[in-house]
Copies of this chain bind each other. A is one copy, B any other.
Amino acid sequence: MGRALITDLYELNMAASYLRRDMTVPATFSLFVRELPPDRGFLVAAGIDDCLDYLESFHFDDEDLAWLAGHGFSPETIGAFREIRFTGDVEAVEEGRVVFAREPLLEITAPLPEAQLVETFLLNQVTFQTAIATKAVRCRLAAGQIELVDFALRRAHGVEAGVAVAKLSAMAGFVGTSNVEAARELGLTAAGTMAHSYIEAFPTERDAFLAFVEDMPPPYTFLVDTYDTLAGVEAAARVVEELDLWDRVAIRLDSGDLGELARAARAILDERGLGHVRIFVSGSLDEYVLERLVASGAPVDAAGVGTRFGTAADAPYVDSVYKLVEVGGRPVMKLSPTKETLPGAKQVWRREGKTDVLARRGEPGPEDAAGLLTPAMRRGNRLLERSTIARARARIEHDLSVLPAAAKRIRRPDSAAPVASRALEELTAATRTGDRPTGRQ
């Protein structure tokens, strides 16, 4: 099955119309986020590589065409769709770069029908993955020295989403994922503990802890809150002592006031000389809760973050758009009151410690500035290789290291929106007032 029908019907309608009229002039579309979601001071670009994979292999297969032929598309259109490939140029921000509102993550320049057909898939991948990657990085920032593990599969929006979430968590610096399928597909570290049902399947907590150690290799993370949490900690401590467990042992708290329980558990463990037993917490965690845990000085070593991270619960999408900015060499813009766009192909210039400059593509950048958009495809041929998770992670680390602290705040951050170059401002003014196509005739 091809992927060309993973699109909105109107893309096919518009492409058919363009093809019928030979409107195959080059068009440039810019994919960017209009405004950052609440409490976001930055975004982490993700899904770019999946978009390039898709563009590289874009085509309609026989099944696609047969379906379209049965649903109102003319034989001429079917014939034209059969031949179509993505033959355009792409400028892209690399996977894992920090970006801001209005900065293009992708710019596609291709014959108009091609550029139009790919819109929906590109938005789907970049929107979702950028929302999750940003959430993952925020969790990582809030967690400080606490190690994080992805626990999101059970509440992610399907299996595909769950695997993507695991990938993005690794990019953000999580140390493992509970998601075995993702671990296999992506070579991640699978991590897991035990469930309450395991405890309940044995006569006592102690029996369950003993059985687990007997049956499995380390690590051992004893879930202690099935009945009475601090009694559970003591039961686990006794098992640790009796079996002389000195390597990779932890207790896990999954309910109640995690900070307070962690302190109480730490005291119990330390009193018994079990300083090596780590404390793992889970349950409704996100960057807001993690920040409070860290601020309270709770002695937490690691945490599983699931639902609220994997659905990006407080901001499950970003306000992404794919806008025509140039067609046949003519800059265009949308003038809708609250949705105005800036015309023309662009570059984003970045100088460390300074505000980004949103510029016309081709104009010289400020001194010492590097362009954020890099050539990703030329005439349909891929130039930008798929990033490893390690490469994407290194980009995130670097970009965060130079991002002002105010933009990294978890609540009410300052966002460093880019400024427009003078040339871009002039083009915008000229496009708005000058050769503006008008709906008023």
Query: Given contacts A128-B155, A154-B127, A327-B201, is CB(A178)–CB(B441) below 8 Å?
Result: no
Tell me which of A85-93, A273-281, A289-297, A336-344 binds B: A336-344
C-alpha gap A171/B200 in the complex (Å): 38
Chain B residues with CB under 8 Å of A11's CB are 192, 195
Minimum distance in angstroms from A69 CB to a CB of chain B: 12
Tell me which of A315-323, A398-406, A422-430 binds B: A315-323
| Contact B178–A155 (Cβ < 8 Å) | no
| Contact A155–B124 (Cβ < 8 Å) | yes
| Contact B124–A162 (Cβ < 8 Å) | yes
| Contact A441–B204 (Cβ < 8 Å) | yes
Copies in the complex: 2
Minimum distance in angstroms from A170 CB to a CB of chain B: 15
Query: Given contacts A27-B201, A439-B224, is CB(A320)–CB(B155) below 8 Å?
Result: yes
- Tell me if A164 is interfacial: C-beta within 8 Å of chain B: yes
Minimum distance in angstroms from A150 CB to a CB of chain B: 10
The total of chain A residues at the interface (CB under 8 A) is: 107
| Contact A192–B13 (Cβ < 8 Å) | yes
C-alpha gap A5/B377 in the complex (Å): 35
Name the residue of chain B whose CB is nearest to the CB of A27: B201
Minimum distance in angstroms from A441 CB to a CB of chain B: 6
Chain B residues with CB under 8 Å of A441's CB are 204, 206, 235
Minimum distance in angstroms from A305 CB to a CB of chain B: 13
C-alpha gap A211/B19 in the complex (Å): 12
C-alpha gap A157/B316 in the complex (Å): 9
C-alpha gap A403/B184 in the complex (Å): 45
| Contact A154–B8 (Cβ < 8 Å) | yes
Chain B residues with CB under 8 Å of A272's CB are none
Chain B residues with CB under 8 Å of A6's CB are 153, 159, 162, 180-181
Query: Given contacts A200-B332, A334-B196, is CB(A128)–CB(B116) below 8 Å?
Result: no
The interface centre, meaning the residue of A198, A226, A254 with most chain B CB atoms within 10 A of its CB, is A198
- Tell me if A16 is interfacial: C-beta within 8 Å of chain B: yes
Query: Given contacts A158-B160, A313-B316, A336-B256, is CB(A197)–CB(B323) below 8 Å?
Result: yes
| Contact B439–A158 (Cβ < 8 Å) | no
Minimum distance in angstroms from A169 CB to a CB of chain B: 14
22 contacts between A and B (CB under 8 A): A3-B159, A8-B153, A10-B192, A12-B192, A13-B192, A14-B195, A16-B215, A18-B201, A120-B154, A121-B159, A128-B156, A128-B157, A157-B157, A157-B158, A196-B334, A226-B336, A226-B439, A227-B335, A227-B440, A235-B439, A256-B337, A313-B316
